[in-house]
Chain A
């Protein structure tokens, strides 16, 4: 099956620093990747949709200058949380869509803790 990886799996950082999270499709080309955030005991919240070679589309209420998304290739998308604050602490999960399929496969997630 389609495999999506994320790196790092967890990160702890100080308030004010920036954190980059990588999402890779390992055995398929992902024309579209999605970034989600999940707070404890809450549902997945879509943050943005990322298409290879173009600017990401952000959901309402998500600050595009704070959450920088780059989808430079068909197998890699990155999310950078700039000037992170404790309220940004969450579980960040990417998913990737394989070709023309509507199925989306999730990465294992990155748990971010901002002190």
Chain B
């Protein structure tokens, strides 16, 4: 059974702080890794994709991948109240197949 695990939270951080979201996956053959943001009542929005070990930065977001540890994380710098949402980690084991989603971590940024 291929699984993606996330802490459900809520993760609460003050405005301006760094939010750190973590995800582990069970299938060592996983190739592609994604972070989606989902606001309440809305559909998921792709914010980051990462395919190789190391860090990938895009604005205030940094995705980190460690395939040896089967671990992927998302850092949000200078957190804003508008970042408050559920963050979904998704993993793809084979090109073209469906993503396997974690249950998501709820982030709350207080002003």
A residues contacting B by CB (< 8 A) are 31-32, 34, 42-44, 46, 49, 91, 93, 97, 100, 102-109
Complex Cα–Cα for A43 and B41 (A): 12
Q: List 23 A-B contacts (CB under 8 A).
A: A31-B96, A34-B99, A42-B103, A43-B88, A43-B102, A43-B103, A43-B104, A44-B44, A44-B88, A44-B101, A46-B98, A91-B43, A97-B96, A102-B49, A102-B95, A102-B96, A103-B49, A104-B90, A104-B99, A105-B46, A106-B43, A107-B43, A109-B43
Binding site for A on B (CB under 8 A): 31-32, 34, 36, 41-46, 49, 51, 88, 90, 92, 95-99, 101-104
What is the bound-complex CA distance between A106 and B90, given in angstroms? 13
Known: A43-B103, A43-B104, A44-B88. A106 touches B98 (CB 8 A): no
